[in-house]
Amino acid sequence: MAWVVVGGNGMLGTDLVEELRRRGCGVRALDLPEFDATEAGCLQALASGQYGRPDWVVNCAAYTAVDQAESEPDRAFLLNARMPGWLADASKRLGARLLHVSTDFVFDGHADGWYDETAAPNPLSVYGASKLEGE
Ligand SMILES: NC(=O)c1ccc[n+]([C@@H]2O[C@H](COP(=O)([O-])OP(=O)(O)OC[C@H]3O[C@@H](n4cnc5c(N)ncnc54)[C@H](OP(=O)(O)O)[C@@H]3O)[C@@H](O)[C@H]2O)c1
């Protein structure tokens, strides 16, 4: 199975690329500055197969500076809320499925036990709100 990992140089992306390679999968890692997932030209290149014809595109790219997001909400929402939609569109045009990663910050942390997929989100920060909108 072939994969494209966007944000492939980040913390999660690096580990994912390494693990996929260990399992013998074909992987292309994309990241700044060569690949900017907010740039129409880069998204078009992805959609047209310039980076290969993967089965899966994984979005590990994000704005992850949790505290800094409070003073940079526009940038946080651009990268965490809008960019996943653009990647979803490009993946669909490419014929690949998109795997997107969210965060526990979409919850308020007040639950007694574990959160599951049906738990109600209630972000308490700009970062959490931007990630929720990306979902
Ligand atoms: N780390 C955690 O504890 C944790 C926990 C829960 C969920 N998550 C989620 O897991 C995902 C990955 O997190 P991470 O910790 O691996 O983040 P990270 O280390 O900050 O990696 C994000 C990567 O995305 C790149 N990137 C940013 N903007 C981009 C753009 N416009 N186009 C292409 N690449 C771009 C970054 O490049 P630059 O460094 O050059 O900006 C960086 O390499 C995120 O969705 C995050 O919300 C992480």
Is pLDDT above 90 for 117? no
Residues with CB under 6 A from ligand 1: 6-7, 9-13, 31-32, 35-38, 60-62, 64, 79, 101, 103-104, 131
Q: What is the pLDDT of residues 43-58, one digit of tens each?
A: 999 999 999 999 999 9
Task: Outline where DSSP puts E strands in 1-135.
Answer: 2-6, 26-30, 56-59, 97-100
**How many whole angstroms from its chain centre is CA 66?**
15
Is pLDDT above 90 for 71? yes
Evaluate if pTM is beyond 0.95: yes
Amino acid found at 58: V
CA distance 75 to 88: 19
Instruction: Classify domain 2-134 at the CATH topology level.
Output: Rossmann fold (3.40.50)
Q: How far is the CA of 48 from the centre of ligand 1 (A)?
A: 24
DSSP 98: E
Of ligand 1's atoms, which has the minimum distance to the CA of residue 64? Answer: 20
